[in-house]
Structure 1
Amino acid sequence: MNNFDLVVRRARVATAADTFDADIGIVDGRIVQIGLQLAAGRQEIDAAGRVVTPGGVDAHCHLDQPMPAPIRMADDFDTGTRAAACGGTTTVIPFAAQQKGQSLRAAVADYHRRAEGQAHVDYAFHLIVSDPTPTVLEEELPALIREGYTSFKIYMTYDDLKLNDGQILDVLEVGRRHGAMVMIHAENADCIEWLTKRLEAAGRTAPRFHAHARPMLVEREATHRAISLAELVDVPILLVHVSGREAVEQIRWARAHGLKVFAETCPQYLFLTAADLGIDDSYLGARCVCSPPPRDKQNQAVIWDALNDGVFTVFSSDHAPFRYEGADGKKPGGAEVAFRHIPNGIPGIETRMALLYSEGVLGGRMTLSRFVELTATNPAKAFGLHPRKGTIAVGADADLVIWDEREFVLENRHLHHAVDYTPFAGQTLRAWPALTLARGEVAWDGQDFHPRRGRGRFLACGAPTLLPRAKADA
């Protein structure tokens, strides 16, 4: 008699707490037993002593998000979750974005229509609050939090998204009252606009000047202000895509003073620099235009250190997929445009896990447990999905990655997104998923993707269960 639907044998299991050797028994897509020499399963997979981690939880990605014409995101829930699975990510949390003048409820309904029947892996939604009307603050947002949309993002930049300080305080107060996690994009919009106009007046409009319009001080100031506003309301916040030393210093100060300030960073701040936006006026740098922009090599070292010492809680892709060629991406209408008009964002949903495993774990920069904590366990805790997601434990979903440790040079042809480039092309990677299981089913076998469109389920999120790490001294 077979006790299990599937047994993963001889796994080197890595969790956020420990690493140990075990077999993993799976029934109905969930882990039901972990131990040595488990009974037979109807199917068996031999991990052969390789590392097995929880499936990644990418808690910051953008899929099929509405954009002003002619711009369109290259990845929808089909292609985006396909790429996620092939890269070892089994849960994604993209954004249902409210447009100004639109109800938040309508934005959520639209995003469900876009996702329905398309996803290959499980997904939840963050909300983007761009128009915090009394109805949104008093009725829609509290009701949506109760229904499982327990996190929302607010912006301090971008004209169509940014909130003023009073509006931010209003939204933070709703988060405090209803136990939600508030994510903040911290850059000073007025400073960016002032610098952009002066660069344009001087004819400096090539992609590389995007970084000149967003120096570290505009992130530092906004980070300080976001922390101050959260302190006033007494609410936890998560600062997203932190790029360098000056913002990190603000976060260290806040954490040293006992404030519940969480922080996220992304691969672009470890593997790209401002030079990737171009060292001349070539338009190729448009491929790496994102906000905040990549900094320099010294700041890469700061971000690596902060990943290890507890400043950063979450490592996400901030996947924002736009094609380089064509009229709907980095060349709006088919034209090479001034940096102000280049769609912001880079693809990374498939490469996030392998980049950090390669240079973090195999590069000797972090332990396996810290890798699991940053890429799976902490994001699941931050957004109310743990312990169902983000861990290898009895009762958890059987979302697992078996890692193949091998060296190769990354090219876009290796990837499964719908974008025509990767900014990480040419990076030497030391690992890639040999197998991805999504709720006990093979989604990627190391060579081929196994389509599961429509098998990905929407997940209602619970309350955040994350606590700051003690070690983040100023």
Structure 2
Amino acid sequence: MEFDLIVRNGIIVTASEILQPGLDIGITDGKIACIGVSLPASAKTHIIDAEGAYVTPGGVDSHVHLAQRNAPTGDGWETGSRSAIAGGTTTIIAFASQQKSDISLYPVLEDYDKKAKDQSYADYGFHFILTNPTREILRDELPVMASEHGITSVKLYMTYEAMKLNDREVLNILFACKNLGMTTMIHAESHDMISMIIEGLERNKNTEPYFHAVARPRIAEDEASYRAISLAELADAPMLIVHMSSEVAVSHVREAQTRLLPIHAETCPHYLFLLSEEIKGKPHDHFSGAKHVCSPPLRHSPADLESLWQSVANGTFTTFSSDHAPSKYDHPGGKQLGMVDGIPRFTKIPNGLPGVETRVPLLFSRTPACLPAEKAKLSLPRFVQLTASNPAKLYGLGGRKGSIAPGFDADLVIWHPGNTGAVTISQGLMHHDIDYTPFEGIEVGNWPRYTILRGQVVWDESKGVVGSMGYGQYLKRGKGEVLTGKTGHLPRGMIEDERKYWL
């Protein structure tokens, strides 16, 4: 057997175990051909010596916003995907967003596909954001999108005036997606709670960026998450609640999972590493806190962070995504939109943070690869589950992405050996097209030495980005897997076959 590339002398980490040191990974035609000892090399074989470092699957970031209409100063496909591979992410799934005025998904897909085509350094796929879920779209268009275009997931909003759906619309989508084997994602915050609080804050002239965190309290996420789970239970449909930040909301998920309901949860780096104090900004420039405005907002207490870390470790969270949704700070069309006639208006600040490049290193830095075992927040196999294997399976890429095994795409991250790869995150190191990073000054214990996509080195820390724009391929995805619980449950208190009377 002849190999194009052999990665030697690494410690391979999978979603279930850490393999014995010194194994080789043989790669042919962009696929992992075999894992073995002392694999033979020919004159044509490229050899990478991992030097005893960990080797993990290329990251799968399943929650990325690129080239979005509501973020004209944010990253496009070129800069966002470039940033991804520099941080060890080889697959991104971004959002093709329907507007309320759109009566068909076909033009939405055509427009978004043009933005991405030949622009990506990483492999990529799309989710649909549904804001106008007409009967025709659910009945006629979603089946075609799933079968012919491989778009097998949708995202819904319970808040934001321009995007929110009512409970009946959410139910209609849940039933439609369940029948198609599609994954339903939902942004769960109580719109009415938030609207009432905002009115009071503005009436009392409390409009600086920090009040964004006050306007969206934990209880708004707690209530909406419970309601979303109830809707999914009624429909007997799988659901993933995105970017969770509240201990109580996560406890609702945990309780549903103990009843074996197919409820999945996602969190993001900013909810594990940052607090609302950041939104207060600098003492001489409170508006600089606009850099940290996102929804749900950063929470107030270190106890909030610790509770989320526990759910990262104990399996409650299914995926760990960046929710990369940035706008430039020092730009009149970016975060500065929140400064109106010299007065800060937090409601006008574009929501979202950059994070696609820092996601994988931040979480890796809290594993035993970088910390003493007693201080680590999660195991290395759990790291692989959250950053690669689980999102791949959940979003229809199982068997191709997210694992190191024969037959999978040769998507790998090779870290620095031992304690030689520590990096302090700074804007100067980033490869995005945003003018700040919210994680400025945080030290991570390692950074990807190499990122490999389908057998090609696309990031070499000594050289920088060595991949080519356009090398990234569009991924036609299959049906997603249910990773926790199962369908087939009756809501509590409902009698057997009760649904048949109204379905």
Distance in 2, Cα, partners of 1:313 & 1:451: 30
The match for 2:494 is: none
The match for 2:14 is: 15
- The two structures have a TM-score, normalised by structure 1, of 0.96
Question: For residues 430-467 of structure 1, what are the alpha-carbon distances to aligned partners after superposition, in whole Å with 9 as ceiling and x for unaligned?
Answer: 11000000111111111311131111010011111232
Matches within 5 A, 1:113-152: 113-147=114-148, 148-152=150-154
Distance in 2, Cα, partners of 1:45 & 1:360: 24
The amino acid across from 1:185 in the alignment is H
How far apart are residue 407 of structure 1 and its match? 2.4
How far apart are residue 369 of structure 1 and its match? 0.5
Matches within 5 A, 1:205-354: 205-278=207-280, 282-295=286-299, 296-332=301-337, 335=340, 337-354=344-361
- The two structures have a TM-score, normalised by structure 2, of 0.90
Instruction: Report the secondary structure of 1:31's partner residue.
Output: strand
Instruction: Report the secondary structure of 1:191's partner residue.
Output: helix
The amino acid across from 2:457 in the alignment is V
The amino acid across from 2:90 in the alignment is T
Instruction: Report the secondary structure of 1:33's partner residue.
Output: strand
The match for 1:381 is: 393
Instruction: Report the secondary structure of 2:223's partner residue.
Output: helix
- The runs of 4+ residues in structure 1 deviating greater than 3 Å are 333-337
Q: Give yes or no for the alignment of 1:63 onto 2:74.
A: no
2:394/2:482 contact within 8 Å kept? yes
1:378/1:466 contact within 8 Å kept? no
Relative to structure 2, which stretch is displaced further, 362-371 or 261-270? 362-371
Question: For residues 341-372 of structure 1, what are the alpha-carbon distances to aligned partners after superposition, in whole Å with 9 as ceiling and x for unaligned?
Answer: 11000000000000000124423111110000
How far apart are residue 469 of structure 1 and its match? 7.1
The amino acid across from 2:323 in the alignment is D
Distance in 1, Cα, partners of 2:142 & 2:216: 31
The amino acid across from 2:75 in the alignment is D
Distance in 2, Cα, partners of 1:150 & 1:73: 28
Matches within 5 A, 1:401-412: 401-404=413-416, 405=419, 406-412=421-427
How far apart are residue 408 of structure 1 and its match? 2.9
How many residues align? The count is 466
Q: Give yes or no for the alignment of 1:392 onto 2:404.
A: yes
Structure showing greater radius of gyration is: 2
How far apart are residue 138 of structure 1 and its match? 1.3
Distance in 1, Cα, partners of 2:322 & 2:260: 28
Matches within 5 A, 1:452-467: 452-467=468-483
The amino acid across from 2:265 in the alignment is A
Instruction: Report the secondary structure of 2:12's partner residue.
Output: strand
The amino acid across from 2:10 in the alignment is A
Distance in 1, Cα, partners of 2:398 & 2:161: 35
The amino acid across from 1:77 in the alignment is W
2:243/2:267 contact within 8 Å kept? yes
Instruction: Report the secondary structure of 1:94's partner residue.
Output: strand
The match for 1:108 is: 109
How far apart are residue 334 of structure 1 and its match? 7.3
Distance in 1, Cα, partners of 2:55 & 2:193: 46
How far apart are residue 73 of structure 1 and its match? 3.9
Relative to structure 2, which stretch is displaced further, 287-296 or 328-337? 328-337
The match for 1:85 is: 85
2:262/2:482 contact within 8 Å kept? no
The amino acid across from 2:128 in the alignment is L
1:326/1:334 contact within 8 Å kept? no
How far apart are residue 164 of structure 1 and its match? 0.3
The match for 1:43 is: 46
1:96/1:125 contact within 8 Å kept? yes
Identity %: 46
1:73/1:320 contact within 8 Å kept? no
The amino acid across from 2:138 in the alignment is L
Distance in 2, Cα, partners of 1:28 & 1:466: 31
Distance in 2, Cα, partners of 1:111 & 1:247: 33
1:306/1:312 contact within 8 Å kept? yes
The amino acid across from 1:229 in the alignment is L
Match of 1:438 among 453, 477, 494: 453
Distance in 2, Cα, partners of 1:172 & 1:299: 30
Instruction: Report the secondary structure of 1:8's partner residue.
Output: strand
